[in-house]
């Protein structure tokens, strides 16, 4: 696969400095790129190393000209680099149509140009949009609806009645619509509460590998437009995640919590149930969030989440706590002696 810089500039809506006929056959990191490849120098150290690369062309920010290489100036170099990765490494997909080893139930509506791979099982009354891709061993339950251009990777399951939007990516091993964890203690036993709701996933959501998104007890667990979930994330029943939130690996969110728009939750954080996390909140790694958080706050801490500034001050104090404890004990003894002496004098 090859493309010249003029074509790349048109694709990226960028400006060329250099030879528009230069042929590019691949993409590589700046330290490893060779002649015929294009690379990225986004800022800082990358721009400083630009003349050390052997790449034939470099994607750079607008206004940058200080280089002996062919340049493509763009508004957002990282987005442009991602587009080049897509161009040179197009995603593989099963052949269009239905594989003979797939099982499709009755009364299904199948869109145009779909790909259903070997081992796929589709229940009854399922609706698949146009250009949907189901990789091997995907399971789709009864009455599921999936929108156009959605991709479901191997061994993922979308269980009964769940709704998935357009351009959604569900990575391998994820389960959409597993039972919510609902029990009531009765006469010494845990009585199971039926989980009769659904999961709704809106457009342009990406769900990582081995995620578990529980169906609602009643109503819906709702993943809104543009949300990105990393691998091994657990979303409990009746959780609502707002538009364009980012949830990093191994995060757990307990039931009936609402997450706002543009929230970032870092790895291994845990968010308690029945809370409200405001818009544009950032939650640090391993934080334990046990109370609601207002809009635009940053909270962190590996024990109990607190205002980020307070947590930073606490980190300065923690290493000196043993010495502070000794000083405090010594001061308490001195005060006790002073009190005793004072009482004797009186």
Q: Which residues are catalytic?
A: 237
Question: What is the Cα–Cα distance from 219 to 199, expressed in whole angstroms?
Answer: 9
Q: What is the DSSP letter of 320?
A: G
Question: What is the Cα–Cα distance from 251 to 175, expressed in whole angstroms?
Answer: 16
Question: What is the Cα–Cα distance from 207 to 227, expressed in whole angstroms?
Answer: 8
- Angle at the Cα of 139 from the Cα atoms of 172 and 197, rounded to 5 degrees: 100
Question: What is the Cα–Cα distance from 233 to 176, expressed in whole angstroms?
Answer: 12
Both tokens of 91, joined, read 């995603």
Q: What is the DSSP letter of 187?
A: T
Over its C-alpha atoms, the chain yields an Rg (Å, rounded) of 28
- Angle at the Cα of 170 from the Cα atoms of 167 and 176, rounded to 5 degrees: 115
Both tokens of 62, joined, read 């607008």
In total, the chain counts a number of residues equal to 346
Burial, 84: exposed, middle or buried (Cβ in 10 Å; 0-12, 13-18, 19+)? buried
Q: Taking the chain, what is the end-to-end CA distance rounded to the nearest angstrom?
A: 97
């Amino acid at each position: 696969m090859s493309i010249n810089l003029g074509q790349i500039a048109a694709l990226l809506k960028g400006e060329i400095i250099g030879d528009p006929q230069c042929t590019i056959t691949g993409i590589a990191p700046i330290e490893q790129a060779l002649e015929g490849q294009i690379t990225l120098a986004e800022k800082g150290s990358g721009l400083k190393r630009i003349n050390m690369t052997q790449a034939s062309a470099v994607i750079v920010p607008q206004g940058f000209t200080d280089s002996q290489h062919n340049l493509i100036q763009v508004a957002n170099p990282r987005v442009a680099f991602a587009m080049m990765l897509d161009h040179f490494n197009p995603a593989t997909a099963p052949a269009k149509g239905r594989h003979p080893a797939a099982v499709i139930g009755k009364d299904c509506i199948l869109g145009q140009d779909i790909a259903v791979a070997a081992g796929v099982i589709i229940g009854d009354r399922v609706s698949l949009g146009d250009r949907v891709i189901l990789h091997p061993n995907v399971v789709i339950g009864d009455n599921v609806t999936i929108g156009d251009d959605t991709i479901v990777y191997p061994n993922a399951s979308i269980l009964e009645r769940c709704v998935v939007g357009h351009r959604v990516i569900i990575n391998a091993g994820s389960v959409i619509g597993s039972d919510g964890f609902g029990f009531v203690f009765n006469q010494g036993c845990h009585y199971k509460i039926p989980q009769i709701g659904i999961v709704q996933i809106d457009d342009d959501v990406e769900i990582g590998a081995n995620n578990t998104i529980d169906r609602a007890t009643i109503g819906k667990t709702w993943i809104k437009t543009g949300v990105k979930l990393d691998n091994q994330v657990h979303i409990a029943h009746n959780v609502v995640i707002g538009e364009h939130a980012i949830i990093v690996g191994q995060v757990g969110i307990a039931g009936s919590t609402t997450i706002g728009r543009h929230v970032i939750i870092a790895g291994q954080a845990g968010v308690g149930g029945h809370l409200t996390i405001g818009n544009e909140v950032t939650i640090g790694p391993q934080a334990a969030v046990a109370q609601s958080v207002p809009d635009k706050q940053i909270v962190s801490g590996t024990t109990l989440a607190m205002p980020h500034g307070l947590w930073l001050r606490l980190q300065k104090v923690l290493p000196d706590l043993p010495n502070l404890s000794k000083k405090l004990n010594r001061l308490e003894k001195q005060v006790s002696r002073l009190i005793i002496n004072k009482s004797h004098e009186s």
